[in-house]
Structure 1
Amino acid sequence: MTTETVDAVVVGAGHNGLVAANILADAGWDVLVLEATDVPGGAVRSAELAAPGYLSDLCSAFFPFGAASPVLRELELGEHGLRWTHAPDVAAHLLPDGRAAVLNRDPRRTAASLDEFAPGDGERWLRLYERWLRISDPLMDAILRPFPPIRPSLRLLRRESVADLLRLARRFLASARALGEEVFDGEGAKVLVSGMALHTNLAPTDAASGAFGWLLCMVGQQYGFPVPVGGAQRITDALLDRLRARGGEVRCGATVDRVIVGGGRALGAGCGDGRLFRARRAVLCDVPAPALYGHLVAAGHLPRRLLADLRGFQWDYATLKVDWALSKPVPWTTEAVAGAGTVHLGVDVEGLGLYAGELEANRRPRAPFLLVGQMTTADPTRSPAGTESLWSYTHLPHRRRWSTDEIDDHVDRIEAVFQRHAPGFSDVVVGRRVTGPDELEEENPSLQGGAVNGGSAAVYQQLFFRPIVGLGRADTPVDRLYLASASAHPGGGVHGGPGANAARAALARWRPILGDLYRATVQRVQRSIYT
C-alpha cells in the first residue's frame, strides 16, 4: 500500500480540526484531514432526529462564543454560506414559582426584567455591561489566543487601570453564587449568572464559576445566542467549503490508530486498515487528550511524568439530550419564556447547588436542571410553520455505561419538569429522540462518556493546567505534534480557539530561523516540567 505525503495531517474533522486545517491552508500548506466517522463536523452537525421535517442539532446548538470569537470572524464564513439568526429573547431562567429572568439583546429590556426581582438590579446590570464593552475585544482575544496572551493583556492595560484589572481577576476566581450575592439583590440576576455557569460542569459554588457565568451573560448581552440558519451543520459546511476552496481535503471513514513518531518527531499517521499518511511539517490532533497520549502516541515516545500527570485528567459531566418534535409551541404557563431561544428550567439558585452537589456525589439528580433550546423560535426553518423543534439536555455523573432503565427513568424526570411548567406538553409531542451519554460517544468518539467539553472546566484544569500541567499551548513533547481539541486551552465551546492555536504553533515551528528558536525554547521548558 502506498504512502500519501502532505504538509500537514489533521486527525479529526470536528470544528477545531477544520479551523486548524483552514489556517494552515491559508498559509499555503497542503492539508489532509482524516475523520474516523462517515461525516465531518464532530459535535457541530444537524439531522432530522425526532420526526421528519423537524431539524435538530446533534450536539452544539446555540453559539454565543461563535459570534464573539475573533478566530471565526477572521475566517469570514459568511462568504461560504453561514448566516446567523436570533430568537426574540436570548435566554430566560424560569423559576419554580413561575417568575422568569429574561436576557434580551436590548440591555434596557434585560434591566427591566431584573428590576422586577429587585429595584436597582437593572441599573447594576447596565453598569456591568458598560464595563464589559470597554474590555470585551481584548478580553476575548486574551481568552482565545495562545497562552500567555501578552498582546491582549497589554491592550487591556491601556483600557483599564491595574487596580481595575485586579478586581477583574478577582471576579474570574469567584464562584457564581458569590458573584451574584456581591453584585445583585434579587434572585433573577443571581439565578441568571449561576445558570449560565452550569453550561460548563461548574457548580455555582465552585471557584471561577463566576467567570463563566458572567462571561456568558455578557457575551449573550452583546452578541446574543445566535444559531445558523438551517442548523449547526451550516458552520461545518462553511468550514468545509472554505477549506476545499483553498485546496484542502477531508477524508471520512479514515480511522487513525497511531501517530507515527521517529527521532522524537511526528512523521505522519497510520490507519487501522493499513493506510499511511506522511506529514512533512506537522500532525495536528483534534481528539481528547487521553486519546492522543493514551492511544495514538506510543507510551515510549512520551515522558513518564506526562503519563503520570494524565491520570489526574478530569472529564466534564456526562450529557443526556432529548429532542422533541412538537405540533405547536411549548404551552408555557409563563408567557415571558416563550420568545427565548435558550431556557433554563427546573430549579432556583438553591436548587442549582443541590443539583451540582448530587452530580459531584455521582448520583443522578432528583430535580434536574434543564437547558432547553426552542430552535424554531430561533430559526423558523427548523420545522413547519406553527410547530417547534425542541431539545433539552441535562447532566449526569461521568461514567462509562448507563442502563436503558436509568436513562428512561431520567427522561421521565425531565418530561415531568416540562409538564409542571407547560401543562399539556405531552399532548403536543409528535416525535422524540433520546440520546444518552453512550449514544453521544457512539456518534462522536471524542465525546467520551457523553462529555461534551473535552474535559472539566474546573480552575485546576484551565490555562497552563489544561489538559495537564504544561505550557497551556498546543505544543506536545513530540516535535511537530499538536493538540488541537477542546482538551487544550482555551477549552470547550464552538469558537475555534484550540484549533487556531494548534495551527499557529505549527506555523511558528517553521518560521525561518525563529522556528528553531521557538522549538528549542518549548523543548527546554517542557523538559523542566516533565523530567
Structure 2
Amino acid sequence: MSNADHDAIIIGSGHNSLVCALYLLRAGWTVRVLERTDTPGGAVKTVDLTEPGFRHDWAAMNVSNFRNSAFYADFGAALERQGVEFVTAENCFASVYDDGTWFGVGTDTDANIARIAALSERDAETWKTLTDDFPSRAATVGGLMSSPMNWSALAGLGFSALRQHGWAGTLDLARFALSSPRDWLGRTFESEKVRAALAPWGMHVDYAPDIATGAIFPYLEAFGDQAGGLSIGKGGADTIIRAMVAEIEAQGGSVECGTEVTRILHEDGKAQAVEIAGGARITAGKAIIANVAPKALARLTGGTGDTGYDTGLDTFRHAPGTVMIHLAMSDLPDWRAGPELRDYAYVTIAPTLDAMALAYQQPVAGLLPEEPMIVVGQPTAIDPSRAPDGKHTLWLQVRMVPGEIKGDAAAQIDATDWETALPPFTERVLDIVERHAPGLRGRVLGMRAVSPRDLEADNPNLVGGDQVCGSHHLSQNAVFRPVRGYSDGSTPLKGLYHTGAAVWPGASTGAGPGTLLGQMLT
C-alpha cells in the first residue's frame, strides 16, 4: 500500500456515499467522507424550517426503499444499534379528484379491492390477480432494478425469468418493463381514477404518463406498499443519515462537514488526490469516489482525457425542477373528499393522466405549470413526534416546474426569475390544495417555500431543482447511465469512481448506486 492519507476519499455525504463507505469499512479500508455543507445527507435531511419544534424533511420523505434495500439487509442491525427508527404507514397514498371523490392504497388488500370494485368490478378482479402475482413478478423486476448492468448479471436474470415465468411470461414482463405508465395502466385498468392514482409514482422519477419504461414505478409502489406499508423515518428522514454517520465513525471512518473539494488531481490516467478549499491536498491509496452531478465531475477533473466520456458528462440531461412548500399546521387538512384522507401518508392532487402529462410538458417547455401535480405529504399523521403535541407538518412537493422560467402557462405570473416568481406560484399551489381542503390557509402557523434555485444552492447535485439528478428516460438509463460503458461507477481514470443518483440504478433512497459500487470495490 502507498503512503496515502486514506484508502478511499469520498466526495459528498449523500446516502449513497455513506452506504458505499460502510461497505469499504467492512472490507478493512480506511475511509474519509468530505462534505461541503454543514450537514451530512444531501437531499435526505430533516430541519427546522418554519416554527420551533416542527421538523421538516427538506426533500426526500419516503424511505421505504432504504428499509427494504439490499444494503439494509446487510447493515440494518448495526444501524438499529445506532438508533435508526422507522414508522410505517398502513394508509399509504391516495388521490383526490375534481368531483370530490378519492381513491387510495393501503396495507388492507380487501379494503383496496372494495374501493376498486366501487369503481370497476373488472378492475377489482385484475387487482386480485396482480396481488397474487406480485411476489414472483417483483423478484424479477426488482432484481433488474438492483442488478449491475453487465452481461453476466443480465443473462442470469434472463435465465431466472425463463425458468420462473416461461417464454410467454418473460415476454410479457419485457413488454411491461418497456411500457409507459399510460400504456400499462390503460391496458390493465378501465377506471380512470385508478389509473390516475397510480401514475404519479412515475412522475416522482421523471416518468410522465407517456414516457417509455415508466410503468415499473407505479406498479412497484402500489403493490409494494400494499404488501409492506410505506415507511418514513421516525422524527425525520435524517434518522438514516445520523445512524450511518455514527456507524461510519464507530468503524473508524470519518464524515467531515464544511470541507469542499475543489479539484480531483490526476496524472498519467490515474486519480491520486483531491484538493480542498484552501489548497490542502488529501491523497487516496485505492479510490476517490465522487458523489456529484456529471457536469460537476467534469469540472472537478478538468477532463479525464477520454473525449467520449467527457462529452457524455457534459451533455447529461437533467429532469425538470421541483418546488417544495413546508407548512407548520395547527391541524391536518379537512379533505373535501372525506375524513379518511387525514390518515394517509401522501395525498396527491393530479386528477387525470392528461393533467399530469400537461403538468410535465409545460415545465419541459420552460413554463410554470397552470395546474401542477401536487403531492401533499402528511408525515405527522403517521409520526406525531415531528411536531408539538396536537400540531402537524405538511410536506408539499410540486412536480414538475422549470429550472429556468421562460413564461407562465396560465399567463398570470410575469416574473422569469425564481426569487420573484416563487411567492405568486406558491399561492397558486395553495389555491389548488385549498380547493380540495377548504380552510387550509387558516391552519397554517408557518411556511417555507423552496425554489429550484434554493434546492441547487443547498445541494449542487440538484441541478435546476432536479431531485433525481438526471432524467431516467431510456436513452439515459441502464447501460447509458451516466455514460455508456460506465454504469458501474467506473471512469476512464484509474482509481476514480462515480456514485449517486446520476449512476445506475439511479435515484432512490434504496441507495443502489452506493451499494453496487461498494460491493464491486470489495
In which range does the TM-score fall when normalised by the shorter chain?
over 0.9
Equivalent position of 2:310 in the other structure: 307
Say whether the 8 Å CA contact 1:35–1:252 is kept in structure 2.
Answer: yes
Write the mapping of 1:200-349 to structure 2, written as runs, cut at 5 A.
200-293=205-298, 295-299=299-303, 301-335=304-338, 336-349=340-353
Equivalent position of 1:433 in the other structure: 448
Write the mapping of 1:506-525 to structure 2, written as runs, cut at 5 A.
506-507=521-522
Residues 460-505 of structure 1: per-residue CA shift (max 9 Å, x gap): 1110111122242111111111111110000011111111222233
State the alpha-carbon separation in 1 of the partners of residues 357 and 397 from structure 2: 18
State the alpha-carbon separation in 1 of the partners of residues 396 and 57 from structure 2: 11
SS in 1 for 2:199: helix
Amino acid at match of 2:184: L
- The worse-fitting range, judged by mean Cα deviation, of 92-101 and 397-406 is 397-406
Say whether the 8 Å CA contact 1:368–1:413 is kept in structure 2.
Answer: no
Write the mapping of 1:90-489 to structure 2, written as runs, cut at 5 A.
90-148=92-150, 149-150=153-154, 151-293=156-298, 295-299=299-303, 301-335=304-338, 336-394=340-398, 395-399=400-404, 402-489=417-504
State the alpha-carbon separation in 2 of the partners of residues 232 and 155 from structure 1: 35
Say whether the 8 Å CA contact 1:317–1:450 is kept in structure 2.
Answer: yes
For the structure 1 residues 213 and 291, does the alpha-carbon distance in structure 2 shift closer, same or farther, using more than 3 Å as the test?
A: same
Amino acid at match of 2:401: L
- The worse-fitting range, judged by mean Cα deviation, of 13-22 and 80-89 is 80-89
SS in 2 for 1:279: strand
SS in 2 for 1:283: strand
CA drift of 1:305 comes to 1.9
State the alpha-carbon separation in 2 of the partners of residues 9 and 138 from structure 1: 35
Question: Which 4+ residue blocks in structure 1 deviate beyond 6 angstroms?
Answer: none
Say whether the 8 Å CA contact 2:434–2:441 is kept in structure 1.
Answer: yes
CA drift of 1:141 comes to 3.2
Amino acid at match of 1:332: W
Say whether the 8 Å CA contact 2:294–2:314 is kept in structure 1.
Answer: no
State the alpha-carbon separation in 2 of the partners of residues 48 and 484 from structure 1: 29
Gaps of 5+ in 2: 406-415
CA drift of 1:172 comes to 1.3
CA drift of 1:127 comes to 1.2
CA drift of 1:353 comes to 1.9
State the alpha-carbon separation in 2 of the partners of residues 161 and 78 from structure 1: 40
Amino acid at match of 2:222: C
State the alpha-carbon separation in 1 of the partners of residues 275 and 361 from structure 2: 43
- The worse-fitting range, judged by mean Cα deviation, of 395-404 and 9-18 is 395-404
Q: TM-score, normalised by structure 1?
A: 0.91
State the alpha-carbon separation in 2 of the partners of residues 192 and 214 from structure 1: 11
State the alpha-carbon separation in 1 of the partners of residues 454 and 337 from structure 2: 33
Residues 33-65 of structure 1: per-residue CA shift (max 9 Å, x gap): 111111111111111112111110111001232
Residues 300-334 of structure 1: per-residue CA shift (max 9 Å, x gap): x3311222233431101111000001101111112
SS in 2 for 1:392: strand
CA drift of 1:191 comes to 0.9
State the alpha-carbon separation in 2 of the partners of residues 8 and 378 from structure 1: 39
Say whether the 8 Å CA contact 2:200–2:350 is kept in structure 1.
Answer: no
Say whether the 8 Å CA contact 1:480–1:506 is kept in structure 2.
Answer: no
Q: TM-score, normalised by structure 2?
A: 0.93
CA drift of 1:422 comes to 0.9
CA drift of 1:346 comes to 4.2
State the alpha-carbon separation in 2 of the partners of residues 441 and 274 from structure 1: 25
1:497 to 2:501 alignment: no
Say whether the 8 Å CA contact 2:455–2:462 is kept in structure 1.
Answer: yes
For the structure 1 residues 262 and 505, does the alpha-carbon distance in structure 2 shift closer, same or farther, using more than 3 Å as the test?
A: farther
Say whether the 8 Å CA contact 2:482–2:502 is kept in structure 1.
Answer: yes
Say whether the 8 Å CA contact 2:90–2:229 is kept in structure 1.
Answer: no
SS in 2 for 1:455: coil
CA drift of 1:138 comes to 4.7
State the alpha-carbon separation in 1 of the partners of residues 158 and 470 from structure 2: 26
Equivalent position of 1:38 in the other structure: 38
State the alpha-carbon separation in 2 of the partners of residues 259 and 506 from structure 1: 19
SS in 1 for 2:285: strand
Say whether the 8 Å CA contact 1:208–1:458 is kept in structure 2.
Answer: yes
CA drift of 1:4 comes to 6.4
Say whether the 8 Å CA contact 1:359–1:397 is kept in structure 2.
Answer: yes
State the alpha-carbon separation in 1 of the partners of residues 157 and 72 from structure 2: 17
Gaps of 5+ in 1: 508-531
Say whether the 8 Å CA contact 1:93–1:195 is kept in structure 2.
Answer: no
Amino acid at match of 1:120: R
Amino acid at match of 1:78: E
CA RMSD of aligned residues (A): 1.7
SS in 1 for 2:51: coil
Structure 1 vs Structure 2: percent identity of aligned residues? Answer: 28
CA drift of 1:406 comes to 1.2
Say whether the 8 Å CA contact 2:50–2:327 is kept in structure 1.
Answer: yes
State the alpha-carbon separation in 1 of the partners of residues 144 and 418 from structure 2: 42
CA drift of 1:22 comes to 0.5
Say whether the 8 Å CA contact 2:293–2:460 is kept in structure 1.
Answer: no
1:74 to 2:77 alignment: no
State the alpha-carbon separation in 1 of the partners of residues 385 and 403 from structure 2: 34
Say whether the 8 Å CA contact 2:312–2:482 is kept in structure 1.
Answer: no
